[in-house]
Structure 1
Amino acid sequence: MKLNFIKVNPTENMTIFITTPVPRNLYKEVAKSVMNYASLHAEQVGFVEACNGGGIKLHMMGGEFCANATIGLAATLVNLGHPIVERGHGSCYMLDLEVSGVVTSITCCVEKLAESNRYISTIQMPLHNEVLPYNMEISGKTYSGTLVKFPGIMHLIVDTREIANENKEEFFHKVKDSFKDENYEALGIMYYDKVENYMEPLVYVKATDSLHWERGCGSGTAAVGAAMSELNKESVNLDISQPGGSIRVTTVVEDNKIKEILLSSKVQIVAEGTVYL
């Protein structure tokens, strides 16, 4: 099989877009192949689909929602000069994308940087369904966290310092076992150090049974912003540091409710070409 691809770098959350049409029943197989170290090597794969009326849909490998991939595809389409891109105010290019895991389109704003292959993308996140405290007992000890459920993905935010003596991957699998009755496409644990404002994201996609230490997680960043806003009943504007860089989350709170969540990140178009499977 010969497929065209574009590889992008949103906060080092390396993402491959397959632009050749592929039957959806092959998405899982194709994604596992191209993510492999011996192939294109990335953390996730999205498939670019054409919609009626000339629109674009991003369908992730497991049908999940991925904020960083959305951020990356928006920059990619601006880079390609795609017809759905419109000139916005000032230096902003505007477009709407359909994305797996959510029912409403995602509004994106992209700004070009000095280098021809680098951008800053901002997306309007779909609002979360729930933010709730979550307690779990592991090895006779009770741990607490905050569970944030978005359409297509959910994240558990835990205090890194509280689990300092735990193996983080083993901790993840124990948490995942506790969610066996939950309906989700993707599950992340955001190991967050509030004092240092530093986060390590570990994300699992159910359909591909893949678990990755992500260098940057957009929806996880949005989860931290939503949790803070829900707790304090106020807007936040925060750059959260992660292994691959920082992602900005901005929330707008009115009448004690979150009305809007925005995510901004730098994106680099890394490569494009043909992959053989």
Structure 2
Amino acid sequence: MPTLPFSKWSPGGNTTLLFPSNGLAPALQCRLARQALTESCLGGEQAGFVNFEARSLRMAGGEFCINASRAVGALLACADDCRQRTEDTARAYESGAQPAKPDKAPLPAATGGSALQQCYTIGVSGWQSPVQLRVRGYAPYWRVEAILQLPDITIQRVAEGIHLVRLPGISHLLLDGHIHSQPEDCYAAAALLRERYDLKQEAAVGVIWWRTLQGQMDMLPLVHVRDTRSDYLESACGSGALALALSRSQTAGGKSFTIMQPSGSPLDVRLFSEGGEPMAGVDGPVSLVARGQVWLPDAAD
């Protein structure tokens, strides 16, 4: 029975389990993630495996995920803060001062000063270039922006009110809710759409119903990951928000978008250039929900 340390995060509501990779083979990661994500275990919408030494994230299905990447930024900041706190405690002992007891303050927290700011660079499955993470705040609440160098991205109008945006590691079908109303059974509708547009073999596919009401854009994402055989109506989707921003920028103009997620938390997307390269930033809150160890039955298909 495998025992794994874990942390559970809420990047804008998109509940994410993070585990250390520990040399686990991708197939085993998939099986462990399927078990851990069930409601009878840890629950969640997605899972990823972090290599701390390599500063890398592999999603359980090998897909690309912006929100999980943002959660890794908070995880790294939390680890750095705890390391600094341990060093401060050791120095306090050496100087004869009385340090705070660890059980009284298990996580570093706001002390009334300016918010902590840290930057990290990680590799993420499905994305060819490094992802920069700009972290602000204190445990257990942060704001994290994922900054991406954009490759050539295909945005295709496949039907009236439907655009297909192919990002590395995940593709998204965007359905204008003013033309295509949200169906009663989103799961069945999404499966039909993936088949209709020949997306069944993609590593990950999001089907997103979006609309703009009184100047506010909102979205409902359903994400399918092939290798983990999972389908979730997600509480938030960072890559879906990026795909929607890119599509709206192309069709209606604009470089800055605030997109409300089903959780009620917005994601801010900005499109810009840096050194002549097209870039994007996806920013929003990240909070730590839980951390500890999980006991999983022997993984099986």
Q: TM-score range by the shorter chain?
A: 0.7 to 0.9
- Cα displacement string for residues 93-116 of structure 1 (whole angstroms, at most 9, x for unaligned residues): 111001100121101110014xx2
Relative to its length, the structure with more strand (as a share) is 1
Describe the SS at the equivalent of 2:187.
Answer: helix
Matched residue, 1:118: 141
Kindly indicate whether the alpha-carbon contact (under 8 Å) linking 1:5 and 1:20 is maintained by their aligned counterparts in 2: no
1:45-194 alignment, distance < 5 Å: 45-50=47-52, 54-81=53-80, 91-113=116-138, 116-127=139-150, 129-135=153-159, 143-164=160-181, 166-167=183-184, 168-180=186-198, 184-194=202-212
1:48 partner letter: V
Q: Is 2:149–2:277's contact at 8 Å kept on the other side of the alignment? A: no
Paired residues of 2:177 and 2:211 also in contact (CA < 8 A): yes
User: Is the 1:126–1:151 contact (alpha carbons within 8 Å) kept by the matching residues of 2?
Assistant: no
Q: CA deviation at 1:183?
A: 5.2
d(CA) in 2 for partners of 1:14 and 1:119? 15
Q: Which runs of 5+ in 2 are unaligned?
A: 83-114, 297-301
Structure 1 unaligned spans of 5+: 84-89, 136-142
1:77-97 per-position Cα deviation (integer Å, ceiling 9, x unaligned): 1011089xxxxxx95311100
- Kindly provide the amino acid, as one letter, of the partner of residue 172 in structure 2: H
Q: How large is the RMSD of aligned CA atoms in angstroms?
A: 2.3
Take 1:214 and 1:92, find their aligned partners in 2: how far apart are those partners? 28
User: Structure 1 residue 55: deviation in Å?
Assistant: 2.7
Distance in 1, matches of 2:131 and 2:182, equals: 40
| Match of residue 25 from structure 1 | 27
Contact 1:92 1:109 in 2 (8 A): yes
SS at match of 2:179: helix
| Partner Cα distance (1:165, 1:109) in 2 | 34
Q: Matched residues in 2 for 1:126 and 1:45: separation?
A: 24
Identity of aligned residues (%): 25
- Distance (Å, rounded) in 1 between the aligned partners of 2:140 and 2:14: 16
How many residue pairs match? The answer is 257
Match of 1:225 among 237, 245, 251: 245
What residue is the counterpart of 2:10 in the other structure?
A: 9
Alpha-carbon distance between aligned partners in 2 of 1:165 and 1:121, rounded to the nearest angstrom? 30
C-alpha distance in structure 1 between counterparts of 2:234 and 2:140, whole Å: 22
Q: Compute the displacement of 1:24 (Å).
A: 2.1
Q: Is the 8 A contact 2:194 2:200 kept in 1?
A: no
Query: Between Structure 1 and Structure 2, whose CA radius of gyration is higher?
Result: 2
TM-superposed CA distance for 1:61, in Å, is: 0.8
Mapped contact 1:216–1:242 kept (Cα < 8 A): yes
Using structure 1 for the length normalisation, give the TM-score.
0.86
Structure 1, 96-105 or 158-167: larger mean CA deviation: 158-167
Per the alignment, residue 34 of structure 1 pairs with 36
CA distance, structure 2, for counterparts of residue 262 and residue 197 of structure 1: 17
- Letter of the structure 1 residue corresponding to residue 63 of structure 2: E
User: Displacement of 1:189 after TM fit?
Assistant: 1.0
TM-score (normalised: structure 2): 0.79
